Structure 1
Amino acid sequence: MKIAIVRLSALGDIIQSAIVLQFIKKFKKNIEIHWFVDERFKDILKDHPLIDKIYPLPLKDKKITKTLKILFEARKNNYNVSIDLQGLIKSAIISRILNQNNFGFNKNSLKESFAHNFYNQKLNISYNENVFVRYLALISFVFNEEFDIKNIFFKKDVFYTDDILKEKLIQELKLKENKQNILIHVGSSAKNKIYPAKKFASLCKKIINNFPNLKILLAWGNLKEYEIAKEIQNFYPNDRIVLIRNLNLQELIALTKAVDLIIGNDSGPTHLAFALNKASITIFGATPSQRNAFTTEINKTIDAKKKILDAKHIDKNDFCIENIDENDIFKIAKELLNEK
């Protein structure tokens, strides 16, 4: 059996969607999986042991002719089924091009409801349902298998970790000199999803003062995030708070696996911690934590205690994340670090 998975973007969504791979292999051991992704994010899936072929698509540059050429060539693989995990009009069209026997969510389950017209088989599940439940429910629907939410707690690492690369980063960042290491991701895709630098600095200060053998690594992905990280350093200069260099996606996977705790906003790098079964705290503001994350004994969330009833309509001018007390984040961090 050969299937096509369509999950084009963004980084965090791809990271969360990839949980389906191990469940697919559990349902059907002898299956060939091809993944169609925006070429900007292809490296997060690089060398994945459960993906047989990756098709990077030049969507960002709007190279429509080249994209269509790739898709029509891929269609010759004669997929048994294509699955759209994204649920947008463009991803629905792509899944339809790849195979007429394609699966997606129904009209009421989508943000872009028109996308349902391009699916042959449709699943009805609330758009406000937890994203992991949505993805795995769709996969269960495709393969006519039972899905128990409890199985998420026993998932294996979602991504392959390059141990040689991990050891290089441990040496480069001198992580072995400390008893514990925290990786903090300062950015996110939207301004109102970013925790204030001053409060991040206050959090760092509390952690440093309470854990004398601990190092904090500040991670960033673009110039704006770099400036936020520098601002944190300026608020609280300390040689145990290190602004690291920009990492590629494979390095990000390796470093996430190497540290003891990851803290950050609702973003791909923080969701990666859950994917790799590493302790984490994800900070939510105007996005629904109960939908966008899955909590476990080591994966915690904190939010502004604001009820967000409809995830389809998020107010990007709502900066309630700024109201979250850094002391509350510290309490969770302290519990997780003391359990180590």
Structure 2
Amino acid sequence: MKEYKKIAIVRLSALGDIINSAVVLQFIHKKFPNAQIDWITEEVFSPLLKSHHLIHNVHIINLKKIKKEKNFLLLKKNISYLRSLGEFDIVIDMQGLLKSAIVSRFISKNTHGFDKESSREGLSSLFYKTTSKIAYEESIVKRNCFLSSDALGFELSDEMILNKKPIFEIKKIDFIDASKINIAFIIGASWLSKKYPKEKIIQLCNELKENSIIVWGDEDEKKDAEFICKHSSYASIAPKLPLIELLSLISSVNLVIGNDTGPTHMAWAQNIASITLFGPTTSRMIYETPKNIGIKSSSKVDILKINKNDFSIQDIEVKEIVSKAKELLNYEI
């Protein structure tokens, strides 16, 4: 097996994808304990990655800012910075988009990524020295794990993923009452059609009759959280939390119920029981385990052409979620 001393991972966004990519760190470290692992990402996600004990350096680029401001000078500065990082034995592009492939190539010629058929943007494969082939329909977590192990030349099994350690080392948050059964509800999402209705979350809180913590991200979500708390005596609103404290909260509860979004994926990352609700997306977005499950609406999904007007998540029955939640809580407690 080839020895790797300096490895770079490119995963720029989004939160859930970064979480589902970071699982590979523990497996890479086990095979190459002396390797330096650097990560390239957007600035907003850097606090989460900088706290990871297996990451040597986090390098920040600002592609979103460049795109928004059309700032050529900032683009030039970012390119110069990437080229100044020094030589890596390998750069693994875990995003598989044209922009991430170009970023990878600016860092080094020793790039590895998904092949043309395995990537959402097939042109990205033109920028890689070597590639991996895995079905695009496969679980995102399994794709990430296969890509990294294939790139570095070692085997990574389902059993290893199932028995993973929590991805992030974090302190449990102190405002959680450990004497209660605590359920975190993740009510936000990047699209409206990915959100489970707040009225049904109220029903869930009232049916489960446990300490329900409503997690929100922006002002609209805060209003929904306040509405839920007003109509359920079991619900309380979480404070506004930065990424590290949000991860701490998720790591401290008994169960997470939420939409297909980053904070919900944190539960799987930290080995916390979870139920992820899917409407316009599918369970390929998670890695299902006995205590991390997905509930999908009846709609058919074309993963190559997601329909953001698919609001079928609203049709998922409260009683189905309650039943699964009780099973998971009995499994955990």
Q: Same fold (TM over 0.5)?
A: yes
Question: What is the one-letter code of the residue matched to 2:211?
Answer: K
Correspondence for 2:197: 196
Residue number among 1, 12, 19 corresponding to 1:8 in the alignment: 12
Contact 2:298–2:312 under 8 Å retained in 1: no
Q: Does 1:66 align with 2:107?
A: no
Contact 2:176–2:252 under 8 Å retained in 1: no
Question: What is the one-letter code of the residue matched to 2:309?
Answer: N
Gaps of 5+ in 1: 209-213
Residues 257-309 of structure 1 deviation map (CA, whole Å, 9 limit, x = unaligned): 111111100010010000000011111111011x111111211211113343x
Correspondence for 1:275: 269
Residue number among 96, 101, 104 corresponding to 1:92 in the alignment: 101
- Aligned 1:16-165 pairs, distance under 5 A: 16-62=20-66, 63-74=74-85, 76=86, 78-161=87-170, 163=171
Residues 46-80 of structure 1 deviation map (CA, whole Å, 9 limit, x = unaligned): 22111000012122211312321321221x2x101
Measure, in 2, the Cα distance between the counterparts of 1:51 and 1:4: 10
In structure 1, the residue corresponding to 2:188 is in which secondary structure?
A: coil
Residue number among 268, 287, 299 corresponding to 1:306 in the alignment: 299
Q: CA RMSD in A?
A: 1.3
In structure 1, the residue corresponding to 2:212 is in which secondary structure?
A: strand
Question: What is the one-letter code of the residue matched to 1:120?
Answer: K
| Runs of 4+, deviation exceeding 4 Å | none
Residue 126 of structure 1, CA deviation: 1.1
Contact 1:39–1:59 under 8 Å retained in 2: no
Question: What is the one-letter code of the residue matched to 2:143?
Answer: R
Residue 252 of structure 1, CA deviation: 1.1
- Aligned 1:165-314 pairs, distance under 5 A: 166=172, 169-170=173-174, 173=175, 175-176=177-178, 178-208=179-209, 214-234=210-230, 236-238=231-233, 240-289=234-283, 291-308=284-301, 310-314=302-306
Measure, in 2, the Cα distance between the counterparts of 1:318 and 1:198: 19
Contact 1:58–1:66 under 8 Å retained in 2: no
Residue 25 of structure 1, CA deviation: 1.1
Residue 174 of structure 1, CA deviation: 5.1
How many residues in Structure 1 have an aligned counterpart in Structure 2? 321
- Aligned residues: percent identity? 40
Residue 190 of structure 1, CA deviation: 1.0
Contact 1:207–1:330 under 8 Å retained in 2: yes
Question: What is the one-letter code of the residue matched to 1:228?
Answer: D
Residues 245, 99 of structure 1: CA spacing in aligned structure 2 closer, same or farther, 3 A cutoff? same
Residue 86 of structure 1, CA deviation: 0.3
Residues 101-127 of structure 1 deviation map (CA, whole Å, 9 limit, x = unaligned): 100001111111111111111111111
TM-score (norm 1): 0.91
Residues 243-268 of structure 1 deviation map (CA, whole Å, 9 limit, x = unaligned): 11110111011111111111100010
Measure, in 2, the Cα distance between the counterparts of 1:230 and 1:204: 13
Residues 184, 69 of structure 1: CA spacing in aligned structure 2 closer, same or farther, 3 A cutoff? same
Residue 194 of structure 1, CA deviation: 0.5
Question: What is the one-letter code of the residue matched to 1:331?
Answer: S
TM-score (norm 2): 0.93
Measure, in 1, the Cα distance between the counterparts of 2:299 and 2:168: 32
Question: What is the one-letter code of the residue matched to 1:196?
Answer: P
Residues 297-322 of structure 1 deviation map (CA, whole Å, 9 limit, x = unaligned): 211211113343x4121111111101
Deviates more, 1:37-46 or 1:265-274: 37-46
Residue 12 of structure 1, CA deviation: 0.6
Residue 82 of structure 1, CA deviation: 0.4
Measure, in 1, the Cα distance between the counterparts of 2:317 and 2:62: 41
Gaps of 5+ in 2: 67-73
Residues 84-103 of structure 1 deviation map (CA, whole Å, 9 limit, x = unaligned): 00011110001111110100
Correspondence for 2:71: none
Question: What is the one-letter code of the residue matched to 1:278?
Answer: I
Measure, in 2, the Cα distance between the counterparts of 1:82 and 1:237: 49
Question: What is the one-letter code of the residue matched to 1:306?
Answer: S
Measure, in 2, the Cα distance between the counterparts of 1:224 and 1:56: 29
Contact 2:202–2:232 under 8 Å retained in 1: no
Q: Does 1:322 align with 2:314?
A: yes
